[in-house]
Structure 1
């Protein structure tokens, strides 16, 4: 039996072929695409001898696009894009891959899909199915599910093939169509309205500037702008607090005022003077208790991105690129997962055993496996399970491959140390809290000593601060070493860091674990925000102006609520609880209403832009792009429509949407067509009249 196997990337096809063939009897030949080779070898699936042909795609095989007549910006009213026909097609640069699949599928009986086991991978799988079944409708379709490119996972996957899940692919189709329609309509509207009306200073100097709108991108920008506005609106306010310290037994206890601080200076001075006049402190309470510091939950995608940003200042985009390369090389499990809870079927001890030989954490791994140390503890779950992949964990031992960059080493080390930490006992600290009374005012101090470091021995990214304080007993009295009135000033919150931004997106349901880093990157690529060396984001004038304009309209297109509802509905589709058609209809109806309202209130966007940018002196084509009723196709450009509009003076006219390349205006009251062409071309009025009338 001939079996066509298809992976998502050439490197994965090679790795899986090497594992299944045990690197013996494998033959490599060229496909139509020089990047996507074909590997051939023999294998037995559940007693059935098979001749395996293994090739690959390179991510999505197909793209979603509008029909040809809607692709040009001036060809239609942007509002029409909410209903314009769309279709999937194989772009020119993927045609050779398509030909390879067609040729190989014709002589096969089975098609086994080895695409990444997430929604996106399932969608690509059905793209492959569509291409292959078009030439061989009798193919038996099977799905291999795996989470790591290691022997036991791959052999288990091929011996336990499943059916592909259409509902997962449908969720991606819904998201693609929603994003295409919303993004294209708002992007065309914004860009045509404002690009030529203002001198917009960006890294492109305004050349080829696209003022893009994305249903995930804009709420992400909203988080950045909202924090920036909080900082701008903050008014510093002075406050006062009383601080007390006591030195004894060679140790110092710093007591904090239990009122915190006061904003009334007179009040603070009166209380402070009372304390100075009667400075004797009386110990009113002493509490001793052991407290655990728990290790982190097993690692999912968002936590990996947040921790890499926090510990190494790596961008989320770069983190995912490096993690993907480590996965494809077989060193870590699949890095796109929402799961932070290990299944009871996962052999955690074997994963630890593979790390015993490492020069840095190998000794700790040995201690974990020694029952006598009592260091092992089954990991706590974080409550998230995407039912597709386990948490991110090491799958192969390495001391650092020769081709690895410093970032590869850092990320692999983080994954290993995080895994070892989450199967370890919590750290244990002895904590002492002392409360004192000075002239009726209460103060408290806390001291801590770490009794057992446990997971902190391997997870050096975290620490547990604390210091020893003198020994106190209830009723004990002493005179403070220092007793002072301090002043301070309230400070605004800091700019959002990348870890903060990921947390907000995760909490509000903006994007998925596999796409959040892309939305952040788009803010930078579109010049809507900048990121400093400390990974903190500041909105640009352009980003702030766009958010301000939509905010002034009175509804919250820059807030996360609308997109969060869409993401929730798409999850329902992936679970089979809602249909793709229902989610598309609901989401697009909602956003079309927002679009029409935004267009009616476009003056708000223009006013917001005028605050930050100088007007260019051009009209911004606002009048020319105010769409009207389509009359006929333009006979001059043969591409765009002629539409009926009202001019500034209140008269009606017919105009070609092909402006500025070509504009035909027919003033109704004069019954005479006039041609305006930006290239200086002219036609005789008689010739125009004959063409149209």
Structure 2
């Protein structure tokens, strides 16, 4: 119901962030708006006059700060001693206003009561839809008659914002339900397993939780149905590297010198794992050296394909490789660029430009740039953009592309500009042409053995002129003619090598695996990767590759040894598929909750019944992987099961045949203050030996 003042409607716009609210107000008012302070100092009020739903309106535009509500258990269930962990699968949950955001709720209460229409301008993805649902529920709670609409847009430009206002829709309740379902599942599953493993491990290994870097802020060992498969990828690759057994191989190499230029010919058989066989082939070649000749010289056109339009995963992986940024960092910067109206929405799974998108407009805006403007101009002077489209579309957002030309000094942030430049160069590259060249392949025979050499001449660099992130270099090769005999100056020998292990995962590799196996979404990959690092379950080495910590490794391997694939992608991927079906209206939230909770509760009960075995596995894995122990402030590796404050005696061994610890008698009496040796294993550990010796006896 519209509230009217002299025939003018009163309308409330709510965006996801203050920067977006300001940009929307600026576009729709053509800069003619007034700003007022809101009840929340971070969420201003922008007021202007306009037209909404065909009616002259006074518009108040404000924002939230992302999610305003959080889902949690009722207070009594948050007390760890109140209920057993298994009850958390059914305990009541509800949504609460997040601490620090009461002012945002009060602001919505104030303005919803004064306005008859609400238009939601949150980001057009699952989280944005759910945040829109929070806004709608909050406003309707304080004004049950308020009319609620949804504006859908993928960029903050005059055209997109005006088009969204002219084509208002309703919130998608299916998407809202999917996010609520995921939130509830993550809460219940995460809380239950976290309590189970924390309570048990804390009792059995109290030192680990007291001193572990993983628990300085929170005295728990967390579990998450997304973070655990993410950690599982890290551990699996580490195990593959650790268990890799190198093999020796042998292959023939051939070099020919002509006009003082040495050309290497590659043996067509490649590498073999039998030295005897390769030596036999070498003998045959040397016996037929005089017959060596060029049997063919072929020239074929070669091309290097320009990139497909940029989606979120492409942006993250490219920035990780080129800019050495974390995925979380690049997405934070991309969000800011989007909110300022500099790029389209950065959370997208689409690699196909919509037919109605006028790419020429956005290319022309880059002509003014001193570094890549000439390339943009060249695209327009050679028939305009000819993008190479990919194969994916999320039906919601276009690929990521620049909306305006931005000078470096306008951003006043070098990292933000580097992300912007990456997006611009990628956009121009995919709108241009492939790089082209000619490959020459020379085939030589020595007896029956075949060797080949190749060279490349790049004739048109194409997109590579603007895209320094791909390498394709010319390789000069000596000229030969078919039938040419080359026995003179020809050398053939044996090269011996060993196979190398796969590399540990970098962040780009990890995102690729998460995408491949359906762990999280393009919008949440960075968040899950950040979580396993914050929990100290893994860290980056000097080459920015992931190495599991002793605790992270032990958790994953302990569940694996029990036979439960909690660190494998199958369970979470199945959950993600169910969430997609809720979005499509093919499953209900209630059905998915029941199905998924049944699956995880069954595993939980089995783990709970074998918790002592789990603890044994955990202890063994921590002890057997001392190379993964955290280093203390002196750079010394510290066993997470052992108190770092204990002084150890290498000369005095306990009954476990390990260095004993030096303790001080604290009990009042004649021995108070005296030092003694005892087992270094935790006092509460059931496997602690009963060794005792006064230090003065040594």
Q: TM-score range by the shorter chain?
A: 0.7 to 0.9
Aligned to 1:571: 580
TM-score (norm 1): 0.86
Aligned to 1:225: 235
User: Of 326, 335, 350, which aligns to 2:337?
Assistant: 326
Give the Å deviation of 1:594.
Answer: 1.1
Aligned to 2:523: 514
Give the Å deviation of 1:402.
Answer: 4.3
C-alpha distance in structure 1 between counterparts of 2:303 and 2:599, whole Å: 49
Given that 2:46 and 2:60 are in contact with CA atoms closer than 8 Å, whether structure 1 keeps it comes out as yes
Aligned to 2:652: none
| Distance of aligned partners of 1:615 and 1:378 in 2 relative to their CA distance in 1, 3 Å threshold | closer
Give the Å deviation of 1:30.
Answer: 2.2
* Residues 361-376 of structure 1 mapped to structure 2, 5 A cutoff: 361-371=372-382, 376=384
User: Of 277, 280, 285, which aligns to 1:267?
Assistant: 277
1:114 aligns with 2:121: yes
* Residues 556-635 of structure 1 mapped to structure 2, 5 A cutoff: 556-611=565-620, 612-613=622-623
C-alpha distance in structure 1 between counterparts of 2:445 and 2:212, whole Å: 60
C-alpha distance in structure 2 between counterparts of 1:105 and 1:347, whole Å: 38
Give the Å deviation of 1:325.
Answer: 1.3
| Distance of aligned partners of 1:345 and 1:205 in 2 relative to their CA distance in 1, 3 Å threshold | closer
Give the Å deviation of 1:148.
Answer: 1.6
Give the Å deviation of 1:377.
Answer: 4.9
C-alpha distance in structure 1 between counterparts of 2:263 and 2:641, whole Å: 64
| 2:213 alignment partner, SS class | coil
C-alpha distance in structure 2 between counterparts of 1:617 and 1:523, whole Å: 23
C-alpha distance in structure 1 between counterparts of 2:219 and 2:70, whole Å: 23
* Residues 186-201 of structure 1 mapped to structure 2, 5 A cutoff: 186-198=193-205, 199-200=207-208
Aligned to 1:309: 320
C-alpha distance in structure 2 between counterparts of 1:377 and 1:617, whole Å: 64
> Which region of structure 1 is more displaced relative to structure 2, 4-13 or 203-212?
203-212
- Deviation digits for residues 33-86 of structure 1, max 9, x if unmatched? 122121111001354211101111011011101122211112111111111111
Give the Å deviation of 1:547.
Answer: 0.7
Specify which structure has the bigger relative contact order, considering alpha-carbon pairs within 8 angstroms and separated by 6 or more residues.
1
Given that 2:341 and 2:403 are in contact with CA atoms closer than 8 Å, whether structure 1 keeps it comes out as yes
> Which region of structure 1 is more displaced relative to structure 2, 302-311 or 10-19?
10-19
C-alpha distance in structure 2 between counterparts of 1:418 and 1:206, whole Å: 42
| Distance of aligned partners of 1:21 and 1:615 in 2 relative to their CA distance in 1, 3 Å threshold | closer
Give the Å deviation of 1:316.
Answer: 0.6
1:79 aligns with 2:79: no
1:216 aligns with 2:226: yes
| 2:603 alignment partner, SS class | helix
| 1:338 alignment partner, SS class | coil
| Distance of aligned partners of 1:22 and 1:470 in 2 relative to their CA distance in 1, 3 Å threshold | same
| 2:138 alignment partner, SS class | helix
User: Of 177, 182, 186, which aligns to 2:189?
Assistant: 182
1:546 aligns with 2:555: yes
Given that 1:197 and 1:615 are in contact with CA atoms closer than 8 Å, whether structure 2 keeps it comes out as no
- Deviation digits for residues 639-663 of structure 1, max 9, x if unmatched? xxxxxxxxxxxxxxxxxxxxxxxxx
| 2:386 alignment partner, SS class | coil
1:243 aligns with 2:243: no
C-alpha distance in structure 2 between counterparts of 1:604 and 1:346, whole Å: 60
| Distance of aligned partners of 1:508 and 1:231 in 2 relative to their CA distance in 1, 3 Å threshold | same
Aligned to 2:135: 128
| Distance of aligned partners of 1:217 and 1:616 in 2 relative to their CA distance in 1, 3 Å threshold | closer
- Deviation digits for residues 99-143 of structure 1, max 9, x if unmatched? 111111112111000001100000000101101111212221111
Give the Å deviation of 1:474.
Answer: 3.5
Given that 1:251 and 1:468 are in contact with CA atoms closer than 8 Å, whether structure 2 keeps it comes out as no
Aligned to 2:632: none
Give the Å deviation of 1:296.
Answer: 0.8
Aligned to 2:349: 338
| 1:195 alignment partner, SS class | helix
1:537 aligns with 2:537: no
- The two structures, once aligned, show a CA RMSD in angstroms of 1.9
1:411 aligns with 2:422: no
> Which region of structure 1 is more displaced relative to structure 2, 92-101 or 539-548?
92-101
Given that 1:240 and 1:263 are in contact with CA atoms closer than 8 Å, whether structure 2 keeps it comes out as yes
C-alpha distance in structure 1 between counterparts of 2:271 and 2:607, whole Å: 46
> Which region of structure 1 is more displaced relative to structure 2, 479-488 or 237-246?
479-488
TM-score (norm 2): 0.85
1:22 aligns with 2:33: no
C-alpha distance in structure 1 between counterparts of 2:432 and 2:411, whole Å: 31
| 2:408 alignment partner, SS class | coil
C-alpha distance in structure 1 between counterparts of 2:129 and 2:218, whole Å: 35
C-alpha distance in structure 1 between counterparts of 2:430 and 2:524, whole Å: 26
Given that 2:214 and 2:536 are in contact with CA atoms closer than 8 Å, whether structure 1 keeps it comes out as no
- Deviation digits for residues 500-535 of structure 1, max 9, x if unmatched? 011000100101111100110111111110112432
Aligned to 2:430: 422
C-alpha distance in structure 2 between counterparts of 1:377 and 1:3, whole Å: 41
Given that 1:247 and 1:470 are in contact with CA atoms closer than 8 Å, whether structure 2 keeps it comes out as no
Which runs of no fewer than 5 residues in structure 1 stay unpaired? 619-693
C-alpha distance in structure 1 between counterparts of 2:53 and 2:118, whole Å: 16
User: Of 415, 434, 458, which aligns to 1:450?
Assistant: 458
Give the Å deviation of 1:292.
Answer: 1.8
